[in-house]
């Protein structure tokens, strides 16, 4: 699997993402600087986590207007798989590849913690390695992870099986207690209509090493390698 990671000024989880991708695919991802509109043909484009442009103005707002993102949109419409994690999810909603928006966490505080996440569907490139209903533990680290969209959009996402991950409690149920950042319908990750673009708020790349907090994110990367190699 050939992959590219987009790097904006202020991106800071690009190295973590590269480690996880290399571990799964055996291949170093290509780093794309935000000014580059030309980059090699790849099977997967990742918009990684961090604080692109310091989250100034609004998380993801300025990154969405960076030159490299024009190419990302073109490639996505041509069917190239795109994964946006955390700040990357925010960028993908800002640029319109994904619906909805990520607002300030319900508790108004940054949250860094392992959360229980339920895989809602295995019918995607990203989740083929999981069972539907499977609960995994993946860390989050964000200020703005509170997913919002209007009722019609939420109904549409659910109706089209595009809600991929939900925040749940220790018993695997969607409860207020399990939904730490206050996301609409406990949504943690969604697909675009073509099911080739995923926005995911938690950090699967930080759950791929048994020495540092588990490997529940590994199946996402293994699934991508299997599907895209």
Indicate the residue among 156 and 215 with the shorter CB distance to other proteins. Answer: 215
- The DSSP 8-state label assigned to residue 210 in this structure reads G
Q: Which of 94, 120, 135, 205 is catalytic?
A: 205
Distance of CA 72 to the CA centre of its chain: 15
Q: Rule CB under 8 A: is residue 193 a binding residue for other proteins?
A: no
Indicate the residue among 141 and 228 with the shorter CB distance to other proteins. Answer: 141
Cβ count within 10 A of residue 107 = 11
Site map (CB under 8 A) of other proteins, residues 56-95, x = contact:
x---------------------------------------
Among the listed residues 209, 214, 215, 228, the single contact to other proteins using CB under 8 A: 209
Indicate the residue among 112 and 123 with the shorter CB distance to other proteins. Answer: 112
Is residue 86 annotated as part of the catalytic site, yes or no?
yes
The alpha helices in the chain, defined as continuous H runs, are: 14-25, 67-77, 87-95, 151-159, 218-228
β partners of residue 32: 6
Is residue 135 annotated as part of the catalytic site, yes or no?
no
Q: Which of 38, 74, 86, 120 is catalytic?
A: 86
β partners of residue 46: 5, 83
Where does the chain show beta strands of DSSP type E? 3-7, 30-33, 44-47, 81-85, 101-103, 111-119, 135-142, 146-148, 163-168, 187-191, 197-200
Instruction: Confirm if 157 and 149 have CB atoms less than 8 A apart.
Output: yes
- What is the nearest approach in angstroms of other proteins to the Cβ of residue 110? 5
- What is the nearest approach in angstroms of other proteins to the Cβ of residue 87? 10
Nearest residue to 85 (alpha-carbon basis) of 178, 179, 11: 11
Is residue 203 annotated as part of the catalytic site, yes or no?
yes
Indicate the residue among 53 and 200 with the shorter CB distance to other proteins. Answer: 53
- What is the nearest approach in angstroms of other proteins to the Cβ of residue 152? 34
Structure tokens at 74: 């073109």
Structure tokens at 140: 């989050």
Using the contact rule CB under 8 A, the part of the chain among 53-61, 96-104, 124-132, 161-169 near other proteins is 53-61
Question: In the range 94-153, which residues lie near other proteins by CB under 8 A?
Answer: 109-113, 139, 141, 143
Tell me the pairing of strands 44-47 and 187-191.
unpaired
Question: In the range 10-29, which residues lie near other proteins by CB under 8 A?
Answer: 10, 12-13, 15-16, 19-20
> What residues are labeled active site?
86, 203, 205
Point out which residues bind other proteins (CB under 8 A). Answer: 9-10, 12-13, 15-16, 19-20, 50-51, 53-56, 109-113, 139, 141, 143, 203, 205-206, 209, 211-213
């Amino acid at each position: 699997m050939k992959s590219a990671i987009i790097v904006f000024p202020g991106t800071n989880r690009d190295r973590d993402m590269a480690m996880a991708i290399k571990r799964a695919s055996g291949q170093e991802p290509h780093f794309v600087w935000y000014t580059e509109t030309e980059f090699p043909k790849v099977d997967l484009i990742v918009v990684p986590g961090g604080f692109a442009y310091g989250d100034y103005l609004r998380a993801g707002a300025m990154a969405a207007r960076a030159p490299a993102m024009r190419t990302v949109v073109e490639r996505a419409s041509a069917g190239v798989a795109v994964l946006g994690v955390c700040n990357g999810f925010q960028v993908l909603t800002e640029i319109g590849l994904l619906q909805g928006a990520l607002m300030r966490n319900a508790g108004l505080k940054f949250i860094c913690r392992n959360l229980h996440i339920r895989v809602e569907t295995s019918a995607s490139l990203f989740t083929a390695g999981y069972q539907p209903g499977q609960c995994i533990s993946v860390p989050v680290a964000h200020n703005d992870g509170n997913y919002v969209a209007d009722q019609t959009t939420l109904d549409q996402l659910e109706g089209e099986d595009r809600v991929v991950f939900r925040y749940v409690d220790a018993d695997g149920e969607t409860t207020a207690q399990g939904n730490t950042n206050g996301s609409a319908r406990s949504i943690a990750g969604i697909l675009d209509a073509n099911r080739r673009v995923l926005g995911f708020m938690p950090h699967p790349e930080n759950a791929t090493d048994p020495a540092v907090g588990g490997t529940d994110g590994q199946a996402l990367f293994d699934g991508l390698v299997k599907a895209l190699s």
